[in-house]
Amino acid sequence: MALKKNSISNRAALRVILALLLLLSLLVLVFYAIRMGHRRLFSANRHFTLRRVVVKSGGWWKSREGEVCLILGLARGESNLFGIDLSAARLKIEGEPAIASASVYKIIPDTLVVEITERVPKAYVFFYGNKLVVDEDSVVMHTDSCVNFSRDLPVITGFKVGGSGLLPGNVLPQTVPALDFLDAAGAEAPRVIVRRVSLSNEKEFNVNISDTIGGRNYDLLLPRKGMREKLAVLEKVLEEIELIEGDVKTIDMRYKDQAVLR
DSSP 3-state helix, strand, coil percentages of the chain (rounded to 5)? 35, 25, 40
Q: How confident is the model at residue 12 (pLDDT cuts 50, 70, 90)?
A: confident
- Asked if residue 114 and residue 239 are part of one domain, the reply reads no
- Asked if residue 128 and residue 114 are part of one domain, the reply reads no
Cα(227)–Cα(188) distance, rounded to whole angstroms? Answer: 10
Residue 149 domain-assigned (yes or no): yes
H-helix segments, 155-233:
176-188, 227-232
Q: What is the CATH number of the domain that holds 166?
A: 3.40.50.11690
- Asked if residue 246 and residue 128 are part of one domain, the reply reads yes
What local confidence, expressed as pLDDT, does residue 152 receive? Answer: 87
- Asked if residue 141 and residue 107 are part of one domain, the reply reads no
- Asked if residue 94 and residue 59 are part of one domain, the reply reads yes
Residue 42 domain-assigned (yes or no): no
Listed residue (191, 195, 102) closest to 157, CA to CA = 195
Q: How many CA atoms lie within 13 A of 206 on its CB side?
A: 8
Cα(171)–Cα(162) distance, rounded to whole angstroms? Answer: 12
Q: Is 34 helix (H, G, I), strand (E, B) or coil?
A: helix
Q: What is the pLDDT of residues 13-40, one digit of tens each?
A: 778 787 888 787 777 766 665 555 444 5
Residue 35 domain-assigned (yes or no): no
- Asked if residue 165 and residue 53 are part of one domain, the reply reads no
- Asked if residue 238 and residue 163 are part of one domain, the reply reads yes
Cα(246)–Cα(230) distance, rounded to whole angstroms? Answer: 23
Residue 154 has pLDDT above 90, yes or no: yes
Determine the average pLDDT of the residues in 192-214: 96
Of the residues 64, 98, 118, which one is the last residue of a structural domain?
118
For residue 82, what are the domain limits?
A: 48-118
- Asked if residue 203 and residue 136 are part of one domain, the reply reads yes
Q: What is the CATH number of the domain that holds 72?
A: 3.10.20.310
What local confidence, expressed as pLDDT, does residue 196 receive? Answer: 98
Predicted TM-score (pTM) of this structure: 0.80
Q: What is the pLDDT of residues 36-71, one digit of tens each?
A: 544 455 556 788 999 999 999 999 999 999 999 999
Listed residue (233, 225, 185, 224) closest to 205, CA to CA = 224
Q: How confident is the model at residue 216 (pLDDT cuts 50, 70, 90)?
A: very high
- Asked if residue 184 and residue 72 are part of one domain, the reply reads no
